[in-house]
Structure 1
Amino acid sequence: MMQNQNLTIKVNGEPFVCEIGFSLFDLINHLNFSAKSIVLEHNADIIPDAQLKKTFLNDGDNVEIVTIVGGG
């Protein structure tokens, strides 16, 4: 029997299916965000840019992405 190669997380409250081994960096690239223009919360923890490639998603994780808008 083949094992499921996908997991389901929530991104800004919406279900999102991705492959096992997907990192937070992979997620923001897939969603066309720039790490420099967002604040990312993973399971209630703010994740610094340097940790995005080292933090991998697990089934049931909750991710909130907030975009930063400059202006004046």
Structure 2
Amino acid sequence: MATLTIQVNGAERTVEASPSTLACVVERLGHHPKLVVVEFNGLILTPERWAEQMVQNGDKLEIVTIVGGGS
């Protein structure tokens, strides 16, 4: 099995490389796509672009989970 080494929230992570779209990587990391915001190499990408964006070795992701709540 081929793998990718990427940075996720500042930590090095290894994930399965195929397929290596951002959408697949986010799900492999255990995140629900509708509950996170993703910064990919310094750019915030809308979820509509995740299926097109390929992830390569050394890419940097910042994944922020959306948390509901109130006062």
TM-score, structure 2 normalization: 0.84
Runs of 4+ in 1 over 6 A off after TM superposition: none
Please, which of 9, 21, 28 is the counterpart of residue 6 of structure 2? 9
Identity of aligned residues (%): 35
Aligned to 2:49: 51
Corresponding residue of 2:30? 32
Uncovered stretches (5+) of structure 2, i.e. residues with no partner: none
TM-fit CA distance, 1:24: 1.1
Contact 1:10–1:16 (CA under 8 A) maintained in structure 2 = yes
Q: Is the 8 A contact 1:7 1:20 kept in 2?
A: no
Preserved contact between residue 38 and residue 67 of structure 1 (Cα < 8 Å): yes
**CA RMSD, Structure 1 to Structure 2 (Å):** 1.6
Of structures 1 and 2, the larger Rg is shown by 1
Gaps of 5+ in 1: none
